[in-house]
Amino acid sequence: MSRLADATESIQLGMGRQLLAHADDLIPDTPQGELRFLAECLTGALRDALRIADSRGRRLKQLN
């Protein structure tokens, strides 16, 4: 289960990095409609990253 969580974390964080890089390229010259879509994708990636962080935090607390 731990390996699955690690793999999922790696994929989700990688997706977040890719979205942020894409945002850096798009934001300066992007019409409003596309910015909304990008913001939705970025917030989804952030939600996933926070979920991972919360899960890892709970597991670490159980070890102490």
pLDDT in tens for each of the 64 residues of the chain?
A: 778 887 887 788 888 888 888 888 777 777 888 888 888 888 889 888 888 887 887 777 687 6
Q: What is the pTM of this model?
A: 0.57
Type of residue found at 58: R
Residue 26: predicted pLDDT: 76
Q: How far is it, in rounded angstroms, from Cα 36 to Cα 18?
A: 17
Residue 64: predicted pLDDT: 64
Please name the residues in contact with 35: beta carbons below 8 A apart, sequence gap of 6 or more.
Answer: 26, 27
CB 28 within 8 A of CB 38: no
Q: How far is it, in rounded angstroms, from Cα 64 to Cα 57?
A: 11
Q: How far is it, in rounded angstroms, from Cα 48 to Cα 42?
A: 10
